[in-house]
């Protein structure tokens, strides 16, 4: 019998996804550029389900029922284009090519348009959850046409993670929408991790707590509003002792954070869209700063290390918890704003509540809190900001005092907390009655005659700064 669906690219992600499909009873055609990987998959896991191995793409295509559904799981960028170019001449109108890699959404838009010309469906599907997720149930964010989702949706929903019986997979929207949402997911993940790291640093350096003690704090936090995968594994990592030295592993790991680029993409796209995603940007820059070893050494030598003034007071742990929660709300509010802006820009008609729903399981940012986000957008799809939803407004309001205390403490102690500080500035920025943007407009008009608008009447105006300083209509 022909295979139901195919996977090409059998490194960790592809082979785990193929196994997930097979375990759900699908007959899966499998292929990899170098056949050794295909053979290894069959040798190690062939007994788990119904696999149809192929040595070539021609064979793979021939082994499938029509319309064909082929998932590409290869290295993003050039390799994905190489596979598409080889595959397209072998396909027939109506066939579906699914890219499950971490593609940039602009590449997905380009590929979707090109394949449409050939009568093919191209589905850029964001897949989150790493190798574990691919095997046991990822969060899946497929873009592409409605028609492709009618065929693919049932299979993808079947293999996706489930929370309360609801699959973490939904048709996100046309063309690059799926990969865009996956990108923002990763950006939020950067912000979330940065905030967690700052919370640890404050408790450790200002509060004088050991990594093991902070691990306990996080374990406790994971039973409340902050309950999430990242908070859970923070307790694991902080509690882990290095077998070689007997020290906390976190004290042995080099403090230079690396990145693969999806956080940077999120910020670049936010700049294009004009959406302030300060939490994600600070997180990306904090990783960059940590990696500048030479510069850190030079500045540390010039100034000496910051003299941390702190000392535990009993309220620090609770204050930091509240600051973390409020800052996290801000980071998510910003990420959801960015999705809304892209949706308007590209005509995607994103259902923001559904995005929160499919992130509840299978992915790195899965958290209890996402239920609250879904409820907020279900109640008010056009919500101006997550911050104004009743639940989040109350949460942020009740955290505000603690949040300010933590920021003051961090700043005066000399412990960098760019995530907490910028989140608070964002909140204060949005709620200010007047912003000094008026002065910026005045300056722009002064040096560049860029004109300004007035608060008291319509129109554009210019002041003759170098002349008699009278105001003229512009
Ligand atoms: P890799 O990103 O390491 O890619 C290795 C695969 O790409 C192998 O199957 C390799 O074939 C194939 N490949 C390459 Br490289 N160049 C090729 C070409 N020109 N033509 C055909 N095949 C080519 O694999 P991965 O870590 O499993 O990730 C797969 C995708 O999933 C990536 O886009 C990744 O960003 C994404 N992703 C990964 C994770 C994760 O946690 N790892 C999570 C979410 C998404 P070969 O065996 O012949 O060299």
C-alpha 57 to ligand 1 mean position (Å): 16
For residue 74, give the ligand 1 atom closest to its CA: 7
pLDDT tens, position by position, 289-318: 999 999 999 999 999 988 777 666 779 999
Q: Report the distance separating Cα 401 and Cα 323, nearest Å.
A: 9
Q: Is residue 6's pLDDT more than 90? A: yes
List the residue whose alpha carbon is closest to atom 30 of ligand 1: 101
Q: Is the CB of 73 under 6 A from ligand 1?
A: yes
| pLDDT recorded at residue 307 | 79
pLDDT band at 284, cuts 50/70/90?
A: very high
Mean pLDDT of 260-288: 97
Task: Give me ligand 1 centre to Cα 32, in Å.
Answer: 10
The predicted pLDDT at position 314 comes to 74
Binding residues for NADP(+): 9-14, 32-34, 74-76, 102
Does 279 sit in the ligand 1 pocket, CB within 6 Å? no
The predicted pLDDT at position 308 comes to: 76
**Region 432-448 average pLDDT:** 98
Say what angle helices 316-346 and 278-291 make with each other, to 10 degrees.
110
Specify the residue with its C-alpha closest to ligand 1, atom 28.
13
State if residue 37 touches ligand 1 by the CB under 6 angstroms criterion. Answer: yes
CB 369 within 8 A of CB 395: no
Q: Which residues are catalytic?
A: 182, 189
Angle at 136 between CA 135 and CA 138, to 5 degrees: 85
Indicate if ligand 1 lies below 6 Å from the C-beta of 82: yes
379-398 pLDDT per residue, tens:
999 999 999 999 999 999 99
Q: In 251-386, at which residue ranges do the beta strands (DSSP E only) sit?
A: none
Q: How much is the average pLDDT of 159-166?
A: 96
Closest CA to 265 of 181, 192, 169: 181
pLDDT in tens, 318-335: 999 999 999 999 999 999
Give residue 192 CA to ligand 1 midpoint distance, Å: 26
Long-range contacts of 230-238 (CB under 8 A, 24+ apart): 230/189, 230/192, 230/193, 230/196, 230/364, 230/365, 230/367, 231/196, 231/367, 234/196, 234/200, 238/200, 238/211, 238/212, 238/214
Tell me the sheet residues that pair with 30: 7, 53
What is the spatial distance between Cα 227 and Cα 418, in angstroms, rounded to a whole number? 23
Q: What percent of the chain has pLDDT over 70?
A: 99
Peptide bond preceding 370 in cis form (omega within 30 of 0):
no
- 80-125 residue pLDDT tens: 999 999 999 999 999 999 999 999 999 999 999 999 999 999 999 9
Determine whether the shortest distance from the Cβ of 186 to ligand 1 is under 6 A. no
Three-point CA angle 121, 123, 126, nearest 5°: 180
Indicate whether residue 40 lines ligand 1 (CB < 6 A): no
Atom number in ligand 1 closest to CA 8:
9
- pLDDT on residue 309: 74
pLDDT value of residue 311: 65
Looking at ligand 1, which atom is closest to the CA of residue 34? 48
pLDDT band at 238 (very low <50, low <70, confident <90, very high): very high
Compute the distance between CA of residue 126 and CA of residue 179 in angstroms, rounded to an integer. Answer: 5
Cα dihedral 52, 57, 63, 67, rounded to 10, equals 120
Q: Is the CB of 80 under 6 A from ligand 1?
A: no
Strands 471-473 and 461-463 come out as antiparallel
Query: Average pLDDT over the chain, rounded to whole?
Result: 97
Pocket test for ligand 1, best of 6, 13, 261 (most atoms within 8 A of CB): 13
Residue pLDDT, tens place only, 172-213: 999 999 999 999 999 999 999 999 999 999 999 999 999 999
- Over 90: is that where the pLDDT of 242 sits? yes
Long-range Cβ contact pairs of 232-237 (< 8 A, separation 24 or more): 234/196, 234/200
pLDDT at 305: 85
Ligand 1 pocket: which of 6, 7, 9 to mutate (most atoms <8 Å of CB)?
A: 9
ipTM: 0.98
Among candidates 76, 83, 8, 416, which has minimal Cα distance to 260? 76
Q: Which residues contact 51 (CB under 8 A, 6 or more apart)?
A: 18, 22, 27, 28, 29, 30, 41, 42, 45
Percent of the chain with pLDDT over 90: 97
């Amino acid at each position: 019998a022909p295979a139901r669906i195919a996977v090409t690219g059998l490194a960790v992600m592809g082979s785990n996804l193929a196994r997930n499909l097979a375990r759900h009873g699908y007959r899966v055609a499998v292929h990899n550029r170098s056949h050794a990987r295909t053979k290894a998959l069959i040798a190690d896991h062939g007994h788990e389900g119904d696999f149809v191995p192929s040595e070539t793409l021609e064979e793979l295509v021939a082994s499938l029922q029509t319309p064909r559904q082929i998932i590409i799981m290869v290295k993003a960028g050039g390799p994905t284009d190489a596979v598409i170019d080889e595959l397209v001449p072998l396909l027939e109108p109506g066939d579906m090519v699914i890219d499950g890699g971490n593609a940039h959404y602009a590449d997905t838009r380009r590929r979707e348009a090109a394949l449409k010309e050939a009568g093919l469906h191209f589905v850029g599907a964001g897949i989150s959850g790493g190798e574990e997720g691919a095997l046991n149930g990822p969060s899946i964010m497929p873009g592409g046409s409605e028609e492709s989702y009618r065929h693919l949706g049932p299979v993808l929903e079947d293999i996706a993670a489930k929370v309360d019986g609801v699959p973490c997979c939904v048709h996100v929207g046309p063309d690059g929408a799926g990969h865009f949402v996956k990108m923002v997911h990763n950006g939020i993940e950067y912000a979330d991790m940065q905030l967690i790291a700052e919370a640890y640093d404050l408790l450790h350096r200002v509060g004088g707590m050991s990594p093991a003690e902070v691990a306990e704090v996080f374990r406790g936090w994971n039973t409340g509003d902050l309950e999430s995968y990242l908070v859970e594994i923070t307790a694991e990592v902080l509690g882990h002792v290095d077998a070689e030295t007997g020290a906390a592993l976190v004290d042995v790991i080099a403090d230079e954070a690396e990145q693969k680029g999806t956080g940077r993409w999120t910020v670049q796209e936010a700049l294009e869209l004009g959406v302030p995603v300060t939490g994600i940007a600070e997180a990306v820059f904090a990783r960059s700063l940590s990696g500048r070893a030479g510069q850190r050494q030079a500045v540390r030598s010039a100034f000496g290390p910051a003299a941390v003034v702190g000392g535990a007071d009993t309220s620090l742990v609770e204050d930091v918890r509240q600051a973390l929660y409020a800052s996290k709300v801000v980071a998510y509010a910003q990420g959801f704003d960015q999705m809304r802006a892209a949706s308007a820009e590209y005509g995607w008609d994103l259902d923001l509540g559904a995005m929160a729903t499919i992130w509840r399981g299978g992915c790195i940012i899965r958290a209890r809190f996402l239920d609250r986000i879904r409820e907020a957008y279900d109640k008010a799809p056009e919500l101006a900001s997550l911050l104004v939803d009743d639940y989040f407004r109350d949460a942020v309001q009740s955290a505000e005092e603690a949040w300010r205390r933590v920021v003051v403490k961090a700043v005066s102690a000399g412990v960098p907390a760019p995530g907490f500080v910028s989140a608070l500035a964002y909140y204060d920025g949005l709620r200010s009655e007047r912003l000094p943007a008026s002065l910026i407009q005045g300056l722009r008009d002064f040096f560049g005659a860029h004109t300004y608008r007035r608060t008291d009447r319509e129109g554009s105006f210019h002041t003759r700064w170098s002349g008699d300083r009278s105001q003229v209509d512009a």
